[in-house]
Amino acid sequence: MREVFVAIAQFHPRLGEPAKNLTRIGEIVDHICAAQNVNLIILPELVTTGYENGVKFTELAEPIPGLTVEELGARAERYQTHIAFGMVVKHKVESVVYDSAVLIDPNGEVSGQYNKVHLKPEERPNFRGGYKFPVLETSFGRVGLLLGWDLAFPEAARSLALDGAELLIAPANWEAQTIEEWKTYLRARAMENALFVAGANRIGDEYTYQFGGESAVVGPRGETYAHVGRDENDRPKEAYAIAKIDLDLVKKSREELQTMQSRQPATYRAVVRNY
């Protein structure tokens, strides 16, 4: 067995206040690691800035390495865990910024960065789109990074699965009114690729958006390993959950289902044709 303890955390990032958000993130990481040793902590998309910043994203963007990576890297090293989170990243050219996911390892170093490929129409004026799906080697297995709306595109998860990913990490800013889509995509991407998917979705309101939480870890057969539910008033709540998963189940499930082995790529030419 390759047991991995994965924590998914959701909270309300304050819009345009990275210092306050970074302090809160540190408190969440401290709280999780005081309760239990975990291999991986996953936080939402754009967790240091919030979502509706518009052109201000250029001012809020950070380089990698930078302050956020250094502070969370210190905590990852202190607790000997991996931390995955979403942030706005500044390229060498100041005006080029990305909606990115970052994975930090237990040495406090950046294992990898993923720039969101599938930008929603309202995100395109603010961010440059990414163009590749990296698979990252960790001490516990091979992981892929996706962000929010990427989950709506089965090609993204399938590309990562074919390149060897056993666990997909998905920080998100998914809206409350379409939260059933989020829950469905988590299960679908896990089941169709026979791997684990761990999604951390934020909560809270901004100018025109409400975010729905429902963070979860889903297994290769669609089973729920951990889930952050709602409060007594049926509202998304600030909380975390921890899942114990066995990455050996990925190979076992694929051998049983034969889905990956039964693919017929020669018949899928339309998949890569532009609409």
Domain residue ranges of the chain, discontinuous segments joined by +: 3-272
pLDDT tens string 184-206: 999 999 999 999 999 999 999 99
What pLDDT band is residue 174 in, cutting at 50, 70 and 90? very high
Tell me what pLDDT residue 12 has. Answer: 98
Provide the mean pLDDT of the chain.
96
92: number of Cβ within 10 Å: 6
Give the per-residue pLDDT at 274.
85
Q: Residue 259's closest CA among 195, 182, 187?
A: 195
* pLDDT given for residue 91 in this prediction: 83
Catalogue the E-assigned strands of the chain: 3-10, 40-42, 82-90, 97-104, 110-115, 135-137, 142-145, 167-172, 196-201, 203-205, 210-212, 216-218, 224-227, 239-246
Binned at pLDDT 50, 70 and 90, residue 221 comes out as: very high
What per-residue confidence (pLDDT) applies to 119? 98
pLDDT of residue 10: 98
Position 98 scores a pLDDT of: 97
Query: Which residues does residue 248 pair with via DSSP β-bridges, in sequence order?
Result: none
Q: What is the pLDDT of residue 143?
A: 98
Calculate the alpha carbon distances from 56 to 53, 127, 128, 154 in Å. Answer: 5, 11, 15, 31
pTM of the complete model beyond 0.95: yes
**Is the per-residue pLDDT at 170 higher than 90?**
yes
The pLDDT tens digits for 132-144 are: 999 999 999 999 9
CA 18, chain centre distance (Å): 19
In words, the CATH class of domain 3-272 is alpha beta
Predicted confidence (pLDDT) at residue 114 exceeds the cutoff of 90 = yes
State mean pLDDT over 5-15.
98
- Report how far residue 120's alpha carbon sits from residue 243's, in angstroms, rounded to the nearest whole number: 30
The predicted structure's pLDDT at residue 110 = 98
Separation between Cα atoms, residue 23 and residue 6, nearest integer Å: 21
Name the pLDDT band for 95 (thresholds 50, 70, 90).
Answer: confident
Q: Is the pLDDT of residue 94 over 80?
A: no
pLDDT at 92: 75
Quick one: how far is CA 218 from the chain centroid?
A: 13
Coil, strand, or helix at residue 40?
Answer: strand
Note whether 224 and 217 are within 8 A (CB): yes
The pLDDT value given to residue 71: 97
129 Cβ contact partners less than 8 Å away, ≥ 6 residues apart: 115, 116, 117, 118, 119
Q: Which residue, 28, 15, 22, 61, is CA-closest to 211? A: 15
Does the structure show a pLDDT above 80 at 93? no
